[in-house]
Amino acid sequence: MANPPYEFIAGPHGPQVRIQARGADVLNFPMVNRGTAFTWPERHALQLTGLLPPGVTSIEAQVRRVYGQFCAQSGNMAKYSYLSGLRDRNEVLFYRLFSEHIEEMMPIVYTPTIGEVIQRFSHGFSKLRAVFTSVDYPEQIQMSFENFGLASDECDLIVVTDSEGILGIGDQGIGGVQIAIGKLGIYTAAAGIDPHRVIPCVIDVGTDNMELLNDEFYLGARHSRIRGKAYDDFMDQFVETVSRMYPNALLHWEDFGANNAHRVLEKYRDRVCSFNDDIQGTAAVVMAAVLSGVKTVGHKLREQRVVIFGAGTAGIGIADLLRDRMVREGLTKDEANRNFWCLGSHGLIHGGLGDQMRDFQRPYARSVEEIKYWGVQDPDNVDLLEVVRNIQPTILIGTSARSGAFSEEVIREMAAHCERPIIMPLSNPTSRAEAVPADIIEWTEGRALVATGSPFKPVEYKGITYEIAQANNALVFPGLGLGVIVSKASRVSDRMIAAAAEAVADIQGVVPRGKSLLPSVNHLRMASGVVAVKVAQSAYNEGLSEIKLEDPVQEVYEAMWQPQYPEIILPEGDWRDYEDDLKARRYAERLAKRQAAKAGAAPPPEEAPAGDQPG
């Protein structure tokens, strides 16, 4: 762009912005608009005089005002619409508000509210700052990213989805772009990823959602999902184009369907710097909670017997990361695999299931011989209670989205053989959780160490208040992204993922009874910084980064974008015009007073200099 309307630059004392736009155009760019926080000299220089109320407001006062407006909204969708509108008007103010109220607003900006936003996407469409690509127009991939407007060295992070596995609502077609936008919002609020250096993107490969295909307002491709070779060819072209255009950007895969998520991650992770939050991010935050729990009970992870109920992409991703940690603790890979019992749609995964297993589940298949003597009702569908009864697990993890699957009988059976069972019903939303914390604590007589996927209020039991850890991916992925960006890592390795998990676990240390296994979401900014330091150091130690941080804490902190209005840089003459005008006005006022005094008339009222207008 020959003459961009604005340009961000690094100044000697912080970020600066050079603004070429003038008048109402300035107010139309959310990246530079600051509304009533424009000072009078800035208003004069940018030709905003008369376009704003006269009062000048600090950003702190603006935050208080917009928070009051946010609280006045009725219902989560109304609150989402308000925040979305604020982001479209004033991006700095939006992120300042979000950062200061992150625990309260994350369920609005992201899950669960974002699910409803996605479902309504085509009906409520308004302008979005995102890239839309389509399997029907592969030749337009490069043009689409060029039109977004970032140069090759101006992009740090791209979040991309094909919308097949959106949260708990499945295939949402083109509307999945909102999940990428929401994810990037958390990256910025939690870890200070610069919002001007990111791209949200959706890959439209069609949809198998018949309701969308028959909706007159649907804005995506009106055909079923493209699969097989055509899908793979498009993905190859997409990855090649993006990695060529933005060679230093982290590619974040989000909400791909179960059949593609593992496959896409494994295919490209050694070619480009990429990461799948549903698989690796979920695994990392669960690993953090598990490590915190194991440390609390005084054991080693390699000594645990782990049952994973829900052996999809998230469940197996958790198993993979925990297994690798067991290997680092001294087990062989085969020995570590034997510490896991995974259940899918056909019950316990074992060798007798044959083609009913997915490829990524096979390493955890139990032998048919093992269950031969368990006394189960149906060897082809071994249920959770039968597994718990026979192997007496110490850790139970749920990623099945089956409400109530962790029944009283299952939990009591587990607790009968384990003094401090670690139990994690992780499915979202709350209505799909395998159990609720209050029941787990009661059924284990307060002995269980509990983490959930959804937020739950503390539980009172026999005089002790139990804080419930939320295994929220936001404890991991923002800091992981920041660490990759700071270190300019060429790849995201399993060891870097594990370093992120270990960093989160170390924040809590040994947990007293009743305290949370994980840090509060309110402390995301701190947690992200801690994670970023460990990830950057791990990348360097593995040879995936050439940058050795000499002062890791300071360097990571300085890399975090702050939601503050940058200094405005304008041609010197623009400021001088204002000063000359101010001097002329003051001279005219003094002259009018002298003339009035000579004529014996009352002098005109004193007018405050424009630079001193009330704020």
Give the closest residue to 390 by CA, choosing from 413, 423, 367. 413
Distances (CA, A) of 170 to 71, 118, 207, 429: 31, 11, 10, 13
Nearest C-alpha neighbor of 612 from the set 586, 587, 588, 590: 586
CA 204 to chain CA mean position, Å:
21
As given in the structure block, the two tokens for residue 474 are 């936001």
Alpha helices in 136-222 (DSSP H): 141-148, 177-191, 210-213
Using a 10 angstrom Cβ sphere, with 0-12 exposed, 13-18 middle and 19 or more buried, the burial of residue 3 is exposed
Structure tokens at 366: 């139990």
Q: Active-site residue among 80, 95, 110, 231? A: 110
| Beta-bridge partners for 492 | none
Locate the DSSP E strands across 258-408. Answer: 274-276, 306-309, 340-344, 347-348, 395-398
Edge to edge, what strands does the sheet with 131-134 contain?
Answer: 131-134, 198-204, 157-161, 250-253, 274-276
Half-sphere exposure of 32 (CA within 13 A, CB side): 26
Nearest to 99 by CA among 140, 132, 59, 152: 59
Sign, CA torsion 214/220/224/225: negative
- 8 Å CB contact between 280 and 317: yes
Contacts of 338 (CB under 8 A, 6+ apart): none
Please indicate whether residue 110 is annotated as part of the active site: yes
Measure CA of the first residue to CA of the last residue in the chain; give whole Å. Answer: 36
Q: Which of 79, 80, 95, 183 is catalytic?
A: 183
DSSP SS3 for 207: coil
Catalytic residue positions? Answer: 110, 183
